[in-house]
Amino acid sequence: MSPQSSAPTTELRIPEHVAIIMDGNGRWAKQRGLPRTDGHIRGQDALRATLRAAAEFGIRYLTVYAFSTENWSRPKEEVDALMSLLVSAIHSETPSLIEEGVRLEAIGNLSRLPEAAQQALRESIQATAACERITLIVALSYSSRDEILRATTQIAREVAEGRLSADSLTEETISAHLDTAAFPDPDLLIRTGGEERISNYLLWQAAYAELFFSSVYWPDFDREALREALEAYTARERRFGKTSEQIQLED
Protein backbone atom coordinates (compact mmCIF):
# COMPACT_ATOMS: atom_id res chain seq x y z
CA MET A 1 0.00 0.00 0.00
CA SER A 2 1.06 3.59 -0.40
CA PRO A 3 0.04 6.89 1.22
CA GLN A 4 -1.89 7.70 -1.98
CA SER A 5 -4.22 4.69 -1.61
CA SER A 6 -7.94 5.16 -2.11
CA ALA A 7 -10.03 7.00 0.47
CA PRO A 8 -12.19 5.13 2.99
CA THR A 9 -15.36 3.61 1.54
CA THR A 10 -18.05 6.20 2.29
CA GLU A 11 -21.00 3.88 2.84
CA LEU A 12 -19.31 2.13 5.73
CA ARG A 13 -19.13 3.41 9.30
CA ILE A 14 -15.43 2.95 10.00
CA PRO A 15 -14.35 2.04 13.55
CA GLU A 16 -11.35 3.87 14.93
CA HIS A 17 -9.88 0.71 16.46
CA VAL A 18 -10.26 -2.89 15.28
CA ALA A 19 -8.89 -5.82 17.26
CA ILE A 20 -8.44 -9.27 15.71
CA ILE A 21 -7.92 -12.76 17.10
CA MET A 22 -6.00 -14.36 14.25
CA ASP A 23 -7.23 -17.96 14.60
CA GLY A 24 -7.07 -20.93 12.28
CA ASN A 25 -3.45 -21.13 11.09
CA GLY A 26 -2.98 -24.69 12.34
CA ARG A 27 -6.30 -25.96 11.01
CA TRP A 28 -5.64 -24.28 7.66
CA ALA A 29 -2.35 -26.15 7.39
CA LYS A 30 -3.83 -29.46 8.59
CA GLN A 31 -6.55 -29.35 5.94
CA ARG A 32 -3.80 -29.13 3.33
CA GLY A 33 -1.54 -31.75 4.84
CA LEU A 34 1.08 -29.10 5.65
CA PRO A 35 3.13 -28.45 8.79
CA ARG A 36 1.57 -26.00 11.25
CA THR A 37 4.49 -23.66 10.58
CA ASP A 38 3.25 -23.25 7.00
CA GLY A 39 -0.04 -21.94 8.38
CA HIS A 40 1.81 -19.37 10.47
CA ILE A 41 3.84 -18.27 7.43
CA ARG A 42 0.68 -17.82 5.38
CA GLY A 43 -0.79 -15.99 8.36
CA GLN A 44 1.91 -13.34 7.95
CA ASP A 45 0.69 -12.75 4.40
CA ALA A 46 -2.86 -12.37 5.71
CA LEU A 47 -1.73 -9.83 8.29
CA ARG A 48 0.06 -7.82 5.62
CA ALA A 49 -3.06 -7.80 3.42
CA THR A 50 -5.38 -6.99 6.32
CA LEU A 51 -3.16 -4.16 7.53
CA ARG A 52 -3.11 -2.70 4.04
CA ALA A 53 -6.90 -2.93 3.78
CA ALA A 54 -7.43 -1.48 7.26
CA ALA A 55 -5.33 1.56 6.37
CA GLU A 56 -7.20 2.04 3.10
CA PHE A 57 -10.57 1.84 4.88
CA GLY A 58 -9.39 4.52 7.31
CA ILE A 59 -9.02 2.44 10.48
CA ARG A 60 -6.56 4.18 12.80
CA TYR A 61 -5.59 1.31 15.13
CA LEU A 62 -5.32 -2.41 14.41
CA THR A 63 -4.50 -4.73 17.31
CA VAL A 64 -3.73 -8.37 16.55
CA TYR A 65 -3.44 -11.28 18.97
CA ALA A 66 -0.22 -12.88 17.79
CA PHE A 67 0.93 -14.98 20.76
CA SER A 68 -0.83 -15.54 24.08
CA THR A 69 0.68 -16.36 27.45
CA GLU A 70 -1.07 -19.72 27.10
CA ASN A 71 0.78 -20.34 23.83
CA TRP A 72 4.02 -20.81 25.79
CA SER A 73 2.66 -24.27 26.68
CA ARG A 74 2.66 -25.40 23.04
CA PRO A 75 5.34 -27.85 21.86
CA LYS A 76 8.80 -26.28 22.13
CA GLU A 77 9.48 -26.84 18.42
CA GLU A 78 6.42 -24.79 17.46
CA VAL A 79 7.18 -22.02 19.96
CA ASP A 80 10.79 -21.79 18.76
CA ALA A 81 9.59 -21.64 15.15
CA LEU A 82 7.09 -18.89 15.98
CA MET A 83 9.74 -16.81 17.75
CA SER A 84 12.09 -17.24 14.79
CA LEU A 85 9.31 -16.20 12.40
CA LEU A 86 8.58 -13.19 14.58
CA VAL A 87 12.16 -11.93 14.44
CA SER A 88 12.50 -12.47 10.70
CA ALA A 89 9.11 -10.85 10.03
CA ILE A 90 9.98 -7.75 12.05
CA HIS A 91 13.28 -7.33 10.24
CA SER A 92 11.79 -7.89 6.79
CA GLU A 93 8.63 -5.82 7.26
CA THR A 94 9.99 -2.75 9.04
CA PRO A 95 11.09 -0.92 5.87
CA SER A 96 7.62 -1.43 4.38
CA LEU A 97 5.95 -0.25 7.58
CA ILE A 98 7.93 2.97 7.43
CA GLU A 99 7.19 3.48 3.74
CA GLU A 100 3.49 2.90 4.27
CA GLY A 101 3.11 5.06 7.37
CA VAL A 102 2.54 2.26 9.87
CA ARG A 103 3.58 2.79 13.48
CA LEU A 104 4.36 -0.45 15.30
CA GLU A 105 3.58 -0.98 18.98
CA ALA A 106 3.51 -4.11 21.16
CA ILE A 107 1.60 -5.12 24.29
CA GLY A 108 1.98 -8.05 26.64
CA ASN A 109 4.52 -9.48 29.05
CA LEU A 110 7.31 -8.80 26.58
CA SER A 111 10.05 -9.70 29.07
CA ARG A 112 9.24 -13.38 28.44
CA LEU A 113 10.17 -13.11 24.76
CA PRO A 114 13.64 -14.21 23.64
CA GLU A 115 16.15 -11.36 23.69
CA ALA A 116 16.42 -11.42 19.90
CA ALA A 117 12.67 -10.82 19.62
CA GLN A 118 12.74 -8.06 22.24
CA GLN A 119 15.59 -6.32 20.44
CA ALA A 120 13.88 -6.58 17.04
CA LEU A 121 10.70 -5.11 18.52
CA ARG A 122 12.52 -2.23 20.18
CA GLU A 123 14.32 -1.34 16.95
CA SER A 124 11.16 -1.50 14.82
CA ILE A 125 9.06 0.46 17.31
CA GLN A 126 11.71 3.18 17.39
CA ALA A 127 12.11 3.18 13.60
CA THR A 128 8.35 3.58 12.99
CA ALA A 129 7.64 6.00 15.84
CA ALA A 130 7.00 8.96 13.54
CA CYS A 131 4.53 7.10 11.28
CA GLU A 132 0.97 8.36 11.55
CA ARG A 133 -1.25 6.63 8.99
CA ILE A 134 -2.22 3.62 11.11
CA THR A 135 -0.91 2.02 14.32
CA LEU A 136 -0.37 -1.74 14.35
CA ILE A 137 -0.40 -3.08 17.91
CA VAL A 138 0.89 -6.64 18.23
CA ALA A 139 -0.16 -8.58 21.34
CA LEU A 140 2.74 -10.89 22.23
CA SER A 141 3.05 -13.07 25.32
CA TYR A 142 -0.28 -11.45 26.14
CA SER A 143 -3.38 -12.42 28.04
CA SER A 144 -5.91 -10.04 29.50
CA ARG A 145 -5.94 -11.63 32.95
CA ASP A 146 -2.15 -11.39 33.11
CA GLU A 147 -2.34 -7.76 31.99
CA ILE A 148 -4.96 -6.91 34.63
CA LEU A 149 -2.94 -8.73 37.30
CA ARG A 150 0.19 -6.78 36.38
CA ALA A 151 -1.79 -3.52 36.39
CA THR A 152 -3.42 -4.12 39.76
CA THR A 153 -0.11 -5.20 41.26
CA GLN A 154 1.40 -1.89 40.14
CA ILE A 155 -1.58 0.04 41.52
CA ALA A 156 -1.26 -1.77 44.86
CA ARG A 157 2.43 -0.89 44.95
CA GLU A 158 1.68 2.77 44.28
CA VAL A 159 -0.98 2.80 47.02
CA ALA A 160 1.45 1.20 49.47
CA GLU A 161 4.06 3.83 48.59
CA GLY A 162 1.57 6.65 49.09
CA ARG A 163 1.57 7.72 45.43
CA LEU A 164 -2.10 6.74 45.05
CA SER A 165 -5.00 6.80 47.48
CA ALA A 166 -7.15 3.67 47.65
CA ASP A 167 -10.23 5.87 48.02
CA SER A 168 -9.49 7.70 44.79
CA LEU A 169 -9.21 4.69 42.47
CA THR A 170 -11.47 4.76 39.41
CA GLU A 171 -11.94 2.82 36.19
CA GLU A 172 -9.63 5.36 34.59
CA THR A 173 -6.94 4.44 37.12
CA ILE A 174 -7.03 0.84 35.97
CA SER A 175 -7.13 1.78 32.28
CA ALA A 176 -4.09 4.01 32.77
CA HIS A 177 -2.08 1.06 34.14
CA LEU A 178 -2.96 -1.38 31.36
CA ASP A 179 -0.65 -2.15 28.45
CA THR A 180 -3.09 -0.28 26.19
CA ALA A 181 -3.09 2.98 28.18
CA ALA A 182 -1.92 4.97 25.15
CA PHE A 183 -4.60 3.64 22.80
CA PRO A 184 -8.40 3.95 22.52
CA ASP A 185 -10.52 0.92 23.37
CA PRO A 186 -11.44 -1.28 20.39
CA ASP A 187 -14.74 -0.57 18.67
CA LEU A 188 -14.84 -3.88 16.80
CA LEU A 189 -13.33 -7.23 17.80
CA ILE A 190 -13.05 -9.88 15.08
CA ARG A 191 -12.23 -13.54 15.61
CA THR A 192 -11.42 -15.69 12.59
CA GLY A 193 -11.45 -19.48 12.27
CA GLY A 194 -15.05 -20.20 13.25
CA GLU A 195 -14.67 -20.20 17.04
CA GLU A 196 -16.94 -17.88 19.03
CA ARG A 197 -15.06 -16.83 22.14
CA ILE A 198 -12.60 -14.04 22.98
CA SER A 199 -9.97 -16.21 24.67
CA ASN A 200 -8.60 -13.90 27.34
CA TYR A 201 -8.11 -11.03 24.88
CA LEU A 202 -8.66 -7.37 25.82
CA LEU A 203 -11.32 -8.30 28.36
CA TRP A 204 -11.33 -4.86 30.01
CA GLN A 205 -10.91 -2.86 26.83
CA ALA A 206 -13.53 -4.75 24.81
CA ALA A 207 -16.34 -4.22 27.32
CA TYR A 208 -18.37 -2.31 24.70
CA ALA A 209 -16.76 -3.58 21.51
CA GLU A 210 -18.94 -5.06 18.80
CA LEU A 211 -18.04 -8.73 18.24
CA PHE A 212 -17.81 -10.37 14.83
CA PHE A 213 -17.00 -14.06 14.35
CA SER A 214 -15.74 -15.10 10.93
CA SER A 215 -15.63 -18.68 9.69
CA VAL A 216 -12.61 -17.81 7.52
CA TYR A 217 -9.31 -19.29 8.70
CA TRP A 218 -6.79 -16.54 9.30
CA PRO A 219 -4.45 -17.42 6.37
CA ASP A 220 -7.41 -16.80 4.02
CA PHE A 221 -8.54 -13.56 5.67
CA ASP A 222 -8.32 -10.61 3.26
CA ARG A 223 -9.85 -7.28 2.30
CA GLU A 224 -13.25 -8.79 1.49
CA ALA A 225 -13.38 -10.64 4.81
CA LEU A 226 -12.53 -7.41 6.62
CA ARG A 227 -15.18 -5.56 4.64
CA GLU A 228 -17.76 -8.16 5.68
CA ALA A 229 -16.93 -7.44 9.33
CA LEU A 230 -17.12 -3.68 8.71
CA GLU A 231 -20.52 -4.07 7.05
CA ALA A 232 -21.78 -5.94 10.11
CA TYR A 233 -20.34 -3.22 12.35
CA THR A 234 -22.05 -0.53 10.27
CA ALA A 235 -25.40 -2.23 10.81
CA ARG A 236 -25.03 -2.33 14.59
CA GLU A 237 -26.47 0.29 16.93
CA ARG A 238 -23.93 1.11 19.63
CA ARG A 239 -25.92 2.20 22.68
CA PHE A 240 -23.42 1.98 25.58
CA GLY A 241 -26.25 1.26 28.00
CA LYS A 242 -28.59 3.91 26.58
CA THR A 243 -31.86 3.40 24.72
CA SER A 244 -32.27 3.64 20.96
CA GLU A 245 -34.35 6.77 21.45
CA GLN A 246 -31.55 8.46 23.40
CA ILE A 247 -29.04 7.60 20.69
CA GLN A 248 -31.32 8.97 17.98
CA LEU A 249 -31.76 12.24 19.89
CA GLU A 250 -27.98 12.59 20.22
CA ASP A 251 -27.55 12.06 16.50
Please report, as a single letter, which amino acid is at residue 92: S
Dist. CA 96–CA 71, nearest whole Å: 28
63: enclosing H helix or E strand = strand 61-68
Buried b (16+ CB within 10 A) or exposed e, 178-198: bbbeebebbbbbbbbbeeeeb
Q: Is 193 annotated as belonging to a binding site? A: no
Q: Is 199 annotated as belonging to a binding site? A: yes
Q: Is 25 annotated as belonging to a binding site? A: yes
Q: Is 69 annotated as belonging to a binding site? A: yes
How many residues are recorded in the chain? 251
Buried b (16+ CB within 10 A) or exposed e, 217-245: bbbbbeeebbeebbebbeeeeeeeeeeee
Q: Is 58 annotated as belonging to a binding site? A: no
Cβ atoms of residues 137 and 107 within 8 Å: yes
- Residue 92's DSSP bridge partners are none
Q: Is 23 a residue of the active site? A: yes
Alpha helices per DSSP H over the chain: 25-31, 36-57, 76-99, 115-127, 144-160, 171-177, 223-235, 244-250
Q: Is 40 annotated as belonging to a binding site? A: yes
DSSP state for residue 82 in the 8-state scheme? H
Q: Is 198 annotated as belonging to a binding site? A: yes
Q: Is 200 annotated as belonging to a binding site? A: no
Q: Is 45 a residue of the active site? A: no
Q: Is 109 annotated as belonging to a binding site? A: no
Q: Is 210 annotated as belonging to a binding site? A: yes
Q: Is 24 annotated as belonging to a binding site? A: yes
- The residue from 23, 146, 179, 187 that is catalytic is 23
- The residue from 71, 185, 200, 220 that is catalytic is 71
Annotated binding site: 23-28, 36, 40, 68-70, 72, 74, 191, 197-199, 210
Provide the annotated active-site residues. Answer: 23, 71
Annotated binding site for Mg(2+): 23, 210
Annotated binding site for substrate: 24-28, 36, 40, 68-70, 72, 74, 191, 197-199
